[in-house]
Amino acid sequence: MTKYVIGNWKLNPATLTEATTLAHAIKKMADNAGCHVGCTPSFVHLAAVSEILSGSKAWAGVQDVCAFGATGAFTGDVSAAQATDLGAKFAIIGHSERRQYHGEDNALLAKKISQTIEHGLVVVLCIGETKDEYEHGKTLAVLDTQLAVLDGLGVPQEKLLIAYEPVWAIGTGLTPTVFEVANTHRHIKAALANKELDEICVLYGGSVNDKNAAEFASCDVVDGALVGGASLKAESFSVIVQAFEKSA
Ligand code: 13P
């Protein structure tokens, strides 16, 4: 199975020049890569990054979409339709930072997923437990609750990727063991199969870097990585891409 390595740039970089420089590097690495490579610039950088990546194998995506419509009176929002128009191929939905800082819950996320699918983008649905939930053995139950957002939406298999991102591993340098990630990914895949979604790639995210990527990549149920901090430097992102293409 071809794996996915996606950079989540979050609210980075500070300037358009830095974003386009990084996009040029990603274009080069994607065209030679044996795995799918993507990045999600900030909305204000999407048009420029997308233009650079057009005609290459790299995907540009967005970090969020408006829940309510393609256009209209939704101040501050950007829609899936607008992102598609600029060449985006996918949208990250339900990232833990959106859940934490913007109060996003399953009811809102269901609307965002519907908008994303309606406008032809692939959904990268992020799920993951907090440190407290992890320590109390609630990880799998939390993930089941988060995955319930998919119920009744009729998301086509080919339009869905899952990113398992433990909240406590994001930006901390901490990670679960590969053994723990493997067990969790198996659970996620079984839960998806129960929803008749049985061919879904499950990516791991949370402090993936150039040092630990090979270990995650060697695990047969880790179908790729969603990378934050280490995706902002072409050198480290390239090492991660190489780790996953070797294991594909
Ligand atoms: P870090 O790789 O910086 O831990 O971030 C992971 C993440 O949130 C990707 O969506």
As a whole-number percent, the residues of the chain with pLDDT over 90 amount to: 96
Taking 90 as the threshold, does the pLDDT of residue 2 lie above it? no
Which amino acids are annotated catalytic? 95, 165
Taking 80 as the threshold, does the pLDDT of residue 248 lie above it? no
The reply to whether ligand 1 has any atom less than 6 angstroms from the CB of 170 is yes
Taking 90 as the threshold, does the pLDDT of residue 23 lie above it? yes
4, 99, 165, 240, best to mutate for ligand 1 pocket (most atoms within 8 Å of CB)? 165
Going from the Cα of 198 to the center of ligand 1, the distance in angstroms, rounded, reads 26
SS3 59: strand
The reply to whether ligand 1 has any atom less than 6 angstroms from the CB of 205 is yes
Atom of ligand 1 nearest to the CA of 96: 8
| Rounded CA Rg of the chain | 17
β partners of residue 5: 37, 225
Angle at 123 between CA 118 and CA 129, to 5 degrees: 135
CA distance 141 to 184: 11
The reply to whether ligand 1 has any atom less than 6 angstroms from the CB of 227 is yes
The reply to whether ligand 1 has any atom less than 6 angstroms from the CB of 110 is no
Q: Domain ranges in the chain? A: 7-238
Q: Which amino acid is at 201?
A: C
For residue range 166-191, list pLDDT tens digits in order. Answer: 999 999 999 999 999 999 999 999 99
| Cβ-Cβ contacts under 8 Å for 129 (sequence gap 6 or more) | 138, 139, 142, 143, 166, 167, 168
CA distance 22 to 187: 35
The DSSP call for residue 150 is G
The reply to whether ligand 1 has any atom less than 6 angstroms from the CB of 38 is no
Tell me, what's the pLDDT at 171?
A: 98
The dihedrals phi and psi of 158, each to the nearest 5 degrees, come to -75, -5
Taking 80 as the threshold, does the pLDDT of residue 164 lie above it? yes
Going from the Cα of 60 to the center of ligand 1, the distance in angstroms, rounded, reads 17
Taking 80 as the threshold, does the pLDDT of residue 40 lie above it? yes
CA distance 247 to 236: 17
CA distance 119 to 58: 19
Q: For ligand 1, atom 7, which residue shows the shortest CA distance?
A: 228
Classified by CATH at the fold level, domain 7-238 comes out as TIM Barrel (3.20.20)
Residues constituting the chain: 248
Label residue 98 by pLDDT band (50, 70, 90): very high
Q: Is the pTM of this model over 0.95?
A: yes
For residue range 112-161, list pLDDT tens digits in order. Answer: 999 999 999 999 999 999 999 999 999 999 999 999 999 999 999 999 99
SS3 79: coil
